[in-house]
Structure 1
Amino acid sequence: YGLSLLGQFKGAGWRKLYLIFGLTDETYSLLTSRPRGSDRAHEQEVDFRITGFNQCYWVAGCAIGALLGDNVAFDSTGIEFALVALFIVLTLEQFKALGEGFPIWLGAAAAGVAMLILPPAHQLIGAIALVTAVLLFEYRKHRGQAPGEESSHG
């Protein structure tokens, strides 16, 4: 998904490499769903700060977890749902910001198809490949449209 932000990072100067390096799922969601003003330099500064804070939170959390992991007894039953919940929230926020349901339904359909036809060890890569193929087809199909002409998927 980093490729989709290269235009947004254009002209960011020395910050561009860090903006690309620091890109995580959470950062991507924040950078693509927040409202933007007309001052590109200011918006890139805000993007840089968001990326930096997210990385600091990530590194600090990992360090604390590593230090406490062996020394604190903790029943982690059920915690595996936290990551699923995070991605559900990120998906809903993207939908609210973009107002486009096609990628969500495409991802769900690809996951369903992969579960039906592929062994568990290959389902994720299969679903990603299917989504990529469909999105490339959609891009190619709509690339030739005249400016201002609306496609059925945004």
Structure 2
Amino acid sequence: MVFRYGDSHTLPPGQEKITSTDNFAGVTLGTRAMTQDGRVFRYCFSAGAIGAGFLTTAPAITPSALASDLILVTAAVGAKSITASHASANAATINFYKDGYVFIHDGAGEGHLHLIQGHDASASDAVAITLRLGDDVVREALASGSSLGGIVRNPYTEIVEWPTTSV
């Protein structure tokens, strides 16, 4: 069974205690899970150890986690990928933006948001990155050069401990 962000499922007793260094295959980061007594958890990834019972938060937005200066290449309605050239030329390792979002903020397709299933690596001198959309598809045709957008990492990627002792 594949769980996607927005889906919710019930965890059997004890499953909320499971931690793993493996990627949760088939589970999108941020997927909501609830125990039978009503406690709610989200599937997250942390780059370091987090103690039991600690509050967590999304990391600060950095230039590598958000690129809002993309020029989107033509994509037809029904396309399952979007290719974008990026002016900042930030390098991105393979699937750095996986489970994140590509958003269109100007031109054709403005206001649309798509979940990123994955992408290939993009070197700092690369001029384009192709973002695979998975189950999502382009719903409004994008016009090369006039559709502008951005990409952002999933907020449940590389979570960190809450930086204070009081809430």
TM superposition score normalised by structure 2: 0.19
TM-score normalised by length of structure 1: 0.20
Q: Whose RCO is larger (CA < 8 A, sep 6+)?
A: 2
Structure of larger gyration radius:
1
